[in-house]
Amino acid sequence: MDDSSQKTLAFLKTKFQEYYAQEIRALPDRFSRREFAFVLFAGKGMMRHISFTKKADVYQYLKERGPQHAYYSSAYYKLPDAPTMQEKEWMGAELIFDLDSDHLPNAEKMTYAESLAVVKQEFKKLVEEFLLDDFGFQKKYLELYFSGGRGYHCHVKDPNIFDLDSNERREIVDYITARDLQDSIIFHEQATGRRRYGSQYYASGKSLMMPRPDQIGWKGRISREIIAIINEIIESNDPIAKLQDYGVKRNEAEKLVKELSEERVQRIRSGMLDQSKTIRKFFLNRALRKTAVALSAGETDEPVTCDVKRLIRLPFSLHGKTGFKVVPIALQKLDHFEPLTDALAFHDEPTEVLLHNPYSISLKDIQYTLEKGKQTVPLYVAVFLCGRRQAVMV
């Protein structure tokens, strides 16, 4: 490790220690039943299987070590400091939802600030539409946090879910992500028109009927989104370009627009999706993409929620890659929470750093457009840049 890297790690550790020397806020409930884990600056791997019986001991550890990352278990154990998971004797676990901007479609095309804004909307949808509305969890059992990095955490502390195993938790994830949701569950065919053969009348056709938009759960959610998408396309100055924004290839977009006659649009708005395979496939898939919540990075990535022994970031701890706090957020204040202002832990004393490349970021509503080389910036900017390895200490 070169001198500048050593100086940078020493700088970050010192600042983290100074932060932890202040009065730390409330610890998680039943903290003595939790496993704690830490990653230290210049340390080798994660230090696990740690427990505390006194709050003062937690604060002292943080103050002395100034860890780069601090975690605790979502599970409660009889022996949280036992060296193996089996010996710990699992007693139950909170239900954890971890939304990370890396899970977002096209995340690689977004700036850090843009991704935080989008993931907050996804998080709000998860909490309000699914956890509160569909599952009916009481607000008093939900704890919301900004992760200090790229997303948000929700801890569900309803005693009824503590004993759920991984498979049962996976069913909750499957519902929220609409995994394996078939159109046959959402839509139903209905006979339309009558044709007479002799003395008998038969249906002359059939339509694919959508659920009522005011229905609860996925049925109403899909219908509302299909109508919203229809309106967005029809009202666009360039419907084909709008569909291409959705990821539809141009030839398919042209075919879709051609099939969206005014008469057909009115039928869809009235609840009849029609039998057009193109329309049926597009609107169901698009509605699912817009309404389901991305809880993992892909099909093979196991969401945090399924893990009954998960480690999650300690509230009020610092994220080693940003210097931001893990901030609790009251549900009614989620809309107004601004991570690039509200999660900052350090002050604005001038600090000199050496940037590897030009970098731009807005913190505390101030836009910093920095050139490569030596720059003097506020301390909270310096910590952020060093944490993200965009700069080193001079």
3-state secondary structure of 359: strand
Tokens of 54: 């006194």
Number of domains comprising the chain:
3
Burial class of residue 53 in the structure, from the number of CB atoms within 10 Å of its CB (0-12 exposed, 13-18 middle, 19+ buried): exposed
Beta carbons within 8 Å of 258's beta carbon, 6+ residues apart: none
18-22, 51-55, 186-190, 375-379, range with the lowest pLDDT: 186-190
Both ends of the chain: CA-CA distance in Å? 15
Q: Is there a single domain that holds both residue 340 and residue 352? A: no
Q: Is there a single domain that holds both residue 142 and residue 165? A: yes
| CATH number of the domain within which 332 lies | 3.90.920.10
- Mean pLDDT over 37-53 rounds to 95
Q: Is there a single domain that holds both residue 254 and residue 353? A: no
pLDDT score of 300 more than 50: no
Containing structural domain, residue 352: 346-394
Last residue within a domain, chosen from 261, 291, 321 = 291
β 200-209/350-355 pair status: unpaired
Q: CA-CA distance, 173 to 302, in Å (whole number)?
A: 10
7 falls within a domain: no
3 falls within a domain: no
pLDDT score of 261 more than 60: yes
Cα Rg for the chain, rounded, in angstroms?
A: 26
Q: How many C-beta atoms surround the C-beta of residue 58 within 10 A?
A: 23
pLDDT (tens digit per residue) in 381-392? 999 999 999 999
Predicted confidence at residue 203, as pLDDT, reads 52
Q: Is there a single domain that holds both residue 24 and residue 154? A: yes
Q: Is there a single domain that holds both residue 168 and residue 156? A: yes
pLDDT score of 329 more than 70: yes
- Mean pLDDT over 34-48 rounds to 94
pLDDT (tens digit per residue) in 171-204? 999 999 888 887 777 776 665 555 666 666 555 5
Predicted confidence at residue 314, as pLDDT, reads 97
CA dihedral 294, 298, 299, 302 (to 10 degrees): -80
Q: Is there a single domain that holds both residue 37 and residue 76? A: yes
CA angle, 205 then 209 then 211, to 5°: 165
Maximum mean pLDDT: which of 79-93, 260-274, 294-308: 79-93
State pTM to two decimals. Answer: 0.86
Which of 50, 47, 97 has the alpha carbon at shortest distance from 77?
50
Q: Is there a single domain that holds both residue 117 and residue 20? A: yes
Query: Got the DSSP string for 315-331?
Result: TTPBPTTT-BB-EEE-G
Q: Is there a single domain that holds both residue 333 and residue 354? A: no
Structural element, H or E, at residue 217: helix 217-234
Q: Is there a single domain that holds both residue 101 and residue 195? A: no
173-182, 191-200, 224-233, 280-289, range with the lowest pLDDT: 191-200
Predicted confidence at residue 173, as pLDDT, reads 92
pLDDT score of 114 more than 50: yes
- Please provide the average confidence, as pLDDT, over all residues in the chain: 88
Identify which has the larger pLDDT, 100 or 184. Answer: 100
Q: CA-CA distance, 28 to 317, in Å (whole number)?
A: 12
Q: Is there a single domain that holds both residue 166 and residue 302? A: yes
Tokens of 209: 């009927």
pLDDT score of 299 more than 70: no
Positions annotated as catalytic residues are 98, 100, 301
Beta carbons within 8 Å of 158's beta carbon, 6+ residues apart: 95, 137, 138, 141
37-46, 164-173, 227-236, range with the lowest pLDDT: 227-236
State the pLDDT confidence band at 65, using cuts at 50, 70 and 90. very high
Q: How many C-beta atoms surround the C-beta of residue 4 within 10 A?
A: 13
Q: CA-CA distance, 166 to 162, in Å (whole number)?
A: 11
Q: Is there a single domain that holds both residue 275 and residue 313? A: no
pLDDT score of 281 more than 80: no
Predicted confidence at residue 1, as pLDDT, reads 66
How many Cα neighbours within 13 Å face the side chain of 382?
Answer: 24
Last residue within a domain, chosen from 291, 306, 330 = 291
| CATH number of the domain within which 377 lies | 3.40.5
Identify which has the larger pLDDT, 188 or 309. Answer: 309
Which of 43, 42, 37 has the alpha carbon at shortest distance from 10?
42
Q: Is there a single domain that holds both residue 205 and residue 223? A: yes
pLDDT score of 205 more than 60: no
Maximum mean pLDDT: which of 175-184, 219-228, 338-347: 338-347
Predicted confidence at residue 139, as pLDDT, reads 97
pLDDT score of 83 more than 90: yes
State the pLDDT confidence band at 274, using cuts at 50, 70 and 90. low
